[in-house]
Amino acid sequence: MQHQEDTLAAYVSTVSQDEESIAVVLDGSLAKGTEREDSDVDVYLVVTDAAFASAFENERLSYVDADAATYDGGYVDIKVITIDYLRRAAEDGDDPVRASFIGARVAWTRDPQVAGLVAAIPTLPESAWAERMASFIAQMRLYGGYFLKQGAQLGDEYLLRWAAVHAVGSAGRALLARGHVLFQGNKYLTGLLTGLPDLPAGYLDLSDRLLATPTAALGREFLDMVEGHEAWPITRDQTLSRFVRENELSWLTRIPPPEFR
């Protein structure tokens, strides 16, 4: 909307005078065209390495600026990054970071490489989607099969609910990967799954039942539904090794477990 575009322009006019500023990248609802009248303006402020180090040290990596707002209650929500951040996000960024750049546009820059880096971030090769599918199905099988059953056998309420939450989360992310949809964060998972054109019939109802009443029987029903929906790219014999590699050995590989990617 025009009042938000005016706020963006006012913000750019100010920060572009700072020699430590390199670019302003618009993201969020305004970039995607889903803004409301009262939506804020979300931006990534690309700065020099020295400015980023200072922001890191002084807890200024994320903050809001209401001074640039041209409408009541408006503000600019700022995340401070660097050119190297953009480059590394395009190479190794987790799903929420990649998803945040869907529809993003460069509002201003003094470095011509910024636009190309921004465009590359939400793009993944086919092999990456297959890897995500394999990782999350392995997670689902262990949480929904082994750990949920252990919780029931031990009468451990915490283990039951922990296993159910992780089984549902892993299954959801496997289904998103199957549909080539980036995971934006847990608060968006249900909405993203609802938008899939071929979500298994009754999936959301069954996942809600499993979360509300985590039992081994519901876990088995849930796993059977998801397993039957796709010829997933990892065998059952490979599942335990993949789970151990990506969870128990994450300290060794320095690669975060799948749920944090």
pTM of the predicted protein model: 0.91
pLDDT at 162: 98
pLDDT at 29: 94
pLDDT at 17: 97
Q: SS3 letters for 120-184?
A: HCCCCCHHHHHHHHHHHHHHHHHHHHHHHHHHHHHCCHHHHHHHHHHHHHHHHHHHHHHCCCCCC
Q: Which residues pair with 208 in a beta bridge?
A: none
In tens digits, what is the pLDDT along the chain, a chain of 261 residues? Answer: 999 999 999 999 999 999 999 999 999 999 999 999 999 999 999 999 999 999 999 999 999 999 999 999 999 999 999 999 999 999 999 999 999 999 999 999 999 999 999 999 999 999 999 999 999 999 999 999 999 999 999 999 999 999 999 999 999 999 999 999 999 999 999 999 999 999 999 999 999 999 999 999 999 999 999 999 999 999 999 999 999 999 999 999 999 999 999
